[in-house]
Structure 1
Amino acid sequence: MDDHGSRRKDRTSSGHRHATAEAPNRRKRLTLSHLAERLGVSTATISLALRNSPLVAQATRERVKREAEAAGYIYNRSAAALRTARSNVVGVAVHDILNPYFAEIFGALEDTLGASDQIVFICNHRDDVERQRTFVQALLQHRADGLVLCPSVDTSPAEINRLVDAGLPVTLICRDVEGARAPVVRGDDIAGALEAVRHLIAAGHRDIAFLGGRRGSSTGRDRHEGWVRALREAGIDPDAQLYEPELMTRAHGFAAVDLLLAREPRPSAVMCFNDMVARGLIEALRRHGIEAGRDIAIIGYDDALDAATATPSLSTVNNGAAEIGARAAAMILAQVAGAPITADRVIIAPHLVERESTGGRRR
């Protein structure tokens, strides 16, 4: 090999060694994902912590900031400003999307929100507060404009208030959370149950069972309270009646027939927490040759879409589903626009609808 070739090889080798020596010193751009992986939290949590959001606990905010500073991460405030722009997305979370009552609420929500070009994201949290929290976190990641929430059992006022304090428009529907500062739209569940049981008492019933309702929800407690008040004002001891909480679905109502038939004496009337429990119970009773409206009085709650067309048609309490949906959507839109809310508590007056299942007029 001549001297020229030797020198060229030396330069090539030297250049390669130089590049190899420099490679370990090159640093990749540090991202939110890197920080999230290091700390074992979501990128949304990192972003919120770096913006001093009250949605993240103070200890977590401080830990994120320490790690970001140690790693040399520079927070991009321009990008953060873009991330806070309007998304035209509103989240809606309820505990049972299979319930026709919520289908009616959804319809009214979508009509009102759609008229303002809002898209609805739906969550069925099934009364699992962790599922609800995951959905809320996803809404924050998608920069949602607001949240309409029928809160899960075990929802704390603090977590709702953190969302409110962070500026996310929130409206509660159907259920209350005591101490939460978000506006609420719901029916008057005590008054509705009171009217339903008074109707049964006026028809001559003295042994009136109550089936269903989550004890951990305001709705379950309030409808039970209405049942208790109506019995007491008629001189009937509630403690002597059949009361079986935590039933929510049609399947629950169907299975509850065994409790009813084992009772001595058998109740002559049943107040059900919702129409789904009532429909399941009516179907199961028919298999035993017992007809609602003829052999036993059964009344539901919510006046869901199929209550009037079922056989027998279901006596129930209309709880203003369409109005709840429309009013809740209007509240969210007002908050998004920065307009004042005319009322932070809207209580819809319920009304009794008498049909065949309590011996009302046959079609």
Structure 2
Amino acid sequence: MSKGRVTVIDIAHAAGVSKSTVSLVLQGSSLVNEATRAKVNVVIRELGYVYNRGAANLRQAKSKIVGIVVNDLTNSFFAELAVGVDMVVQSAGYVQFLSNTGESVDRQREVVASMREHGISGLIVSPARGTEAADFKPLTNAGIPVVIVVRNIPGAKVSSLVSDNFAGASAAVEHLAGLGHRRIAFMGGFANTAVFAERLGGYREALAKAEIAFDDDLVVATAPSRAGGVEAVGRAMLLAHKPTAAVCFNDAVAFGVCDGLRARRLEPGVDFAVVGFDDVIEAESAVPALTTISVDPQGMGRRAAQLLLKQVNSGKVEAEAIVSAVRLVVRQSSGAGLDTTARRAVS
């Protein structure tokens, strides 16, 4: 405990919570559950803390800071997205505060509260799983512009920038079907997310157009990570009727699928066709180079930053919804250069 004036840090330490949680309690935020609120208030009374609202308001004055919160910084897609954001905000005289939630809604609430304490001018966020529209209400009520990227949250009343997930997955299936594949799996991704639903929808429609029957066994939901890709291909190879190709939820999953194939002495692009989704920097230099749906992560970051700064500069929080186009980039991992004899070997 510090000597002299009691601080928010003292309260957080005594109550066993984070500084951001104490700040939310002091602000009367609805994001804190009643049990935690009661515990913090007991400590506040015991320590005799006095909330200096005037000083708090000064701290919350708008600064030249833009917050960016992502759900999985271990995925290089989000690192590239952040670089794109930084290109724009830096040239506009802003500093970027970057935070990773690791798919935790509680952590997301804490970091956003902390960013608000630093007086962010606006927020770009790829929401953690389980995020609800109500989570953005304190920001919109305070007039802080928000741009949601990658995952949309219906009813959030904030701007959104997402890729055309349906069209991308559809193009991937069309490409593989055109190469003669009939057992095409959909690998990776959390099944309870909108992005998964959209990409699965495109996958299913393209199968129907190619007159390929949908097989639920070929949809293998796992974490959208490299480890998830390894798991997905392992599960798929246990099927009685194994797939010969896969549309992967993202490039991270695709790299994992390639790892899992090699562990089984199968060569991606020769024995099994792999298509990713994102087109991260490593996709082109991977061996084999990854066929993927290009989303242009840096470009998405730049566009999100431009959308945010437009609202910051205008002083108006007017929600815009943008769906960015995607394109198929054909490289070696899908076996597009193989002759029909090689393709028959995996059919």
TM-score by length of 2: 0.83
> What is the aligned residue count?
335
Change (3 A) 1:63 1:169: farther
Q: 3-state SS of the aligned residue for 1:238?
A: coil
* 1:350 pairs with one of 311, 314, 326: 326
> Residue in 2 aligned with 1:273?
249
TM-score by length of 1: 0.80
> Residue in 2 aligned with 1:115?
91
User: Alignment RMSD, CA only?
Assistant: 3.2
What CA deviation, in whole Å up to 9, does each residue of 1:93-151 have, x standing for no partner? 11221212112111111111111222222222121211212211221222222221100
Identity of aligned residues (%): 37
Change (3 A) 1:45 1:124: closer
What CA deviation, in whole Å up to 9, does each residue of 1:137-177 have, x standing for no partner? 22122222222110011111111123212222211000011
Structure 1: state its 5+ residue gaps: 1-27
Q: 3-state SS of the aligned residue for 2:96?
A: strand
* 1:332 pairs with one of 308, 315, 320: 308
Q: 3-state SS of the aligned residue for 1:232?
A: helix
Tell me by how many angstroms 1:314 deviates.
0.7
Amino acid at match of 2:62: R
Query: What CA distance in whole angstroms lies between the structure 2 residues aligned with 1:31 and 1:297?
Result: 59
> Residue in 2 aligned with 1:19?
none
Equivalent runs, 1:83-232 vs 2, <5 Å: 83-232=59-208
Change (3 A) 1:229 1:337: same
Structure 2: state its 5+ residue gaps: 339-347
Amino acid at match of 2:266: I
Change (3 A) 1:108 1:236: same
Query: What CA distance in whole angstroms lies between the structure 2 residues aligned with 1:222 and 1:153?
Result: 15
Tell me by how many angstroms 1:45 deviates.
6.3
Amino acid at match of 1:300: G
Query: What CA distance in whole angstroms lies between the structure 1 residues aligned with 2:319 and 2:233?
Result: 43
Equivalent runs, 1:216-255 vs 2, <5 Å: 216-255=192-231
Bigger shift: residues 85-94 or 37-46: 37-46
Change (3 A) 1:40 1:284: closer
Amino acid at match of 2:76: P
Equivalent runs, 1:47-66 vs 2, <5 Å: none
Query: What CA distance in whole angstroms lies between the structure 1 residues aligned with 2:292 and 2:134?
Result: 35
Mapped contact 1:208–1:270 kept (Cα < 8 A):
yes
Query: What CA distance in whole angstroms lies between the structure 2 residues aligned with 1:112 and 1:290?
Result: 43
Tell me by how many angstroms 1:308 deviates.
0.9
> Residue in 2 aligned with 1:82?
58
Query: What CA distance in whole angstroms lies between the structure 2 residues aligned with 1:165 and 1:96?
Result: 27
> Residue in 1 aligned with 2:344?
none
Query: What CA distance in whole angstroms lies between the structure 2 residues aligned with 1:254 and 1:168?
Result: 41
Query: What CA distance in whole angstroms lies between the structure 1 residues aligned with 2:13 and 2:216?
Result: 58
> Residue in 2 aligned with 1:9?
none
* 2:279 pairs with one of 279, 303, 318: 303
Change (3 A) 1:93 1:295: same
What CA deviation, in whole Å up to 9, does each residue of 1:52-81 have, x standing for no partner? 77777999999999x999x99876554244
Tell me by how many angstroms 1:270 deviates.
0.7
Q: 3-state SS of the aligned residue for 1:300?
A: strand
What CA deviation, in whole Å up to 9, does each residue of 1:200-252 have, x standing for no partner? 11222111111111122211121111111111222322235411112311122
Query: What CA distance in whole angstroms lies between the structure 1 residues aligned with 2:281 and 2:260?
Result: 21
Query: What CA distance in whole angstroms lies between the structure 1 residues aligned with 2:216 and 2:51?
Result: 64
Equivalent runs, 1:14-53 vs 2, <5 Å: none
Tell me by how many angstroms 1:90 deviates.
2.0
Query: What CA distance in whole angstroms lies between the structure 2 residues aligned with 1:63 and 1:289?
Result: 57
Amino acid at match of 1:344: E
Mapped contact 1:96–1:102 kept (Cα < 8 A):
yes
